[in-house]
Amino acid sequence: MPRRARLTLPNVPLHLIQRGNNRQACFFTDEDYRMYLDWLTLYADQYGCRIHAYVLMTNHVHLLLSADRADAPGFLMKALGQRYVQYVNRTYRRSGTLWEGRYRSCPTQEETYLLACRRYIELNPLRAEMVAHPAEYRWSSYRANAQGEFNTLLKRHPLYEALGADMAERQRAYREIFRYQLDQGLVDEIRHATNGNYALGNEHFAAQISSALGRRAFPGKSGRPCKTVACP
């Protein structure tokens, strides 16, 4: 069975995840994280992708981005993945693949899910019990978004800008939404959409994505085939 084409549209935020092969580590030293972020900055600029949030875990990567062209995220991840694999293989005298096949992604509804997706990404180190607070983890966008740490990679999304009248107010508001962990049901919903290549949003958003792309952007109903994009 052919793989489902990714659901990507211009200027629609995309949450994506790329894992190490067989869940093995893909970052080994601080220099590895820095090299990855440097190349992510380079290729995001080259392909017109705006990175809004990220976290680099030991064996996988989360990004939240948007782009003017639907094919830009694919070009970004291909160039970045190849460059980083070459670096790892040369540095650690290894060969073969590093990544677990294709990256996984989902278009994300701005109004109701974008901030939740940011929290999902930047709270990853807490769920993994690596730190007690997201600010303690160096390899995520939390310090820049919540505390104003200088970061040339990040581009502010309009919803982030709307959190306050100035940067200090936005950062305070951003820190406030991180006071509590995400509800487990919402965590599961984000994971299901990302791993399944479905729209992350309400039924209206999923129907909009389906109509725009001409293919289903939501899970099929068990026991009843769904052959049209109008199916709820």
Phi (first) and psi of residue 205, to 5 degrees: -65, -45
E strands, 14-59, where? 14-19, 49-56
Domains of the chain: 14-213 (3.30.70.1290)
Q: For residue 136, which of 126, 151, 121 has the smallest C-alpha distance?
A: 126
What span, in angstroms and rounded, lies between the C-alpha atoms of 82 and 50? 20
Q: For residue 105, which of 213, 211, 230, 9 has the smallest C-alpha distance?
A: 9
pLDDT given for residue 220 in this prediction = 72
pLDDT tens digits for range 145-198:
999 999 999 999 999 999 999 999 999 999 999 998 899 999 999 999 999 999
Q: 181 vs 132, which has greater pLDDT?
A: 132
What span, in angstroms and rounded, lies between the C-alpha atoms of 121 and 171? 17
> Model confidence at 226, in pLDDT bands (50, 70, 90)?
very low
Q: For residue 126, which of 74, 77, 55 has the smallest C-alpha distance?
A: 55
Strand, helix or coil for residue 29: coil
pLDDT tens digits for range 65-102:
999 999 999 999 999 999 999 999 999 999 888 999 88
In the chain, what's the furthest Cα-to-Cα distance?
Answer: 52
